[in-house]
Amino acid sequence: MTIDASTVNETQTHRVSAILDAIALALSLAPGLWAIFGTGFRHLPVTWALALALGFALRNLGLAWRVLAGTALRPATVWAMLAVLIALFAVVFVDTTAPGRPRQGLFAHLAFLAALASLVSVLGARKPGESAWAILCGLFLAIGLLPMLEGIGLAKRFDVLDQLRSESPWTYFFVLVIIAGAGNYLPTRFSLPALILGTGLLHHLRLLWTPEGRAEWRGEYWYILPWALAVSISLGAILARRPRKFETPAPFHQFWIPFRDAWGAAWALRVLERVNQSAARNGWPERLTWFGLVGSADSNSTTGESIESQDSKSAGELANSVQANVPVAFPNAIALTATLTVFLRRFGDTDVIRKF
**Helix axis angle, 250-263 to 265-282, nearest 10°:** 140
Give the C-alpha separation, 166 to 204, whole Å: 11
CA dihedral of residues 256, 258, 262, 263 (deg, nearest 10): -10
Look over the chain and give the mean of its residue pLDDT values, rounded to a whole number: 78
User: Rounded mean pLDDT of 323-335?
Assistant: 64
- Calculate mean pLDDT across residues 85-97: 82
Distance of CA 353 to the CA centre of its chain: 16
Angle, helices 191-208 vs 168-183, to 10°: value is 170
Q: Whose CA is closest to 61, among 233, 264, 232, 185?
A: 233
Which of left, alpha, beta for 348 (phi over 0: left; psi -120 to 50: alpha)? Answer: left
Q: What is the DSSP letter of 337?
A: H
- If one compares 241 and 149, the residue with the highest pLDDT of the two is 241
- Res 262 pLDDT > 90: yes
In which band, very low, low, confident or very high, does the pLDDT at 325 lie, cut at 50, 70 and 90?
A: very low
Instruction: Check: CB of residue 303 under 8 Å from CB of residue 322.
Output: yes
Q: Residue 266: what pLDDT?
A: 94
What is the distance between the alpha carbons of residues 197 and 201, in angstroms, rounded to a whole number? 6
> In the chain, what are the helix, strand and coil shares in percent, each to the nearest 5?
70, 5, 25
Is the alpha carbon torsion for 161, 138, 258, 85 positive or negative? negative
| Per-residue pLDDT at 47 exceeds 70 | yes
For residues 56 and 234, the answer to whether their CB atoms sit within 8 Å is yes
* Residues sharing a CB contact under 8 Å with residue 271, sequence separation 6 or more, in sequence order: 259, 340, 343, 344
Model pLDDT, residue 243: 86
Give the containing element (helix H, strand E) for 293: strand 292-294
DSSP letters of 100-115? Answer: T-HHHHHHHHHHHHHH
CB of 76 within 8 A of CB of 118?
A: yes
Asked whether the beta carbons of 356 and 261 are under 8 A apart, the reply is yes
CB 228 within 8 A of CB 197: yes
Q: What does the alpha-carbon distance between residue 181 and residue 178 come to, in Å, rounded to a whole number? A: 5
> Residues 281-314: pLDDT tens digits?
999 999 999 999 988 644 333 333 332 333 443 4
Return the half-sphere exposure (C-beta side, CA atoms, 13 A cut-off) of residue 6.
0
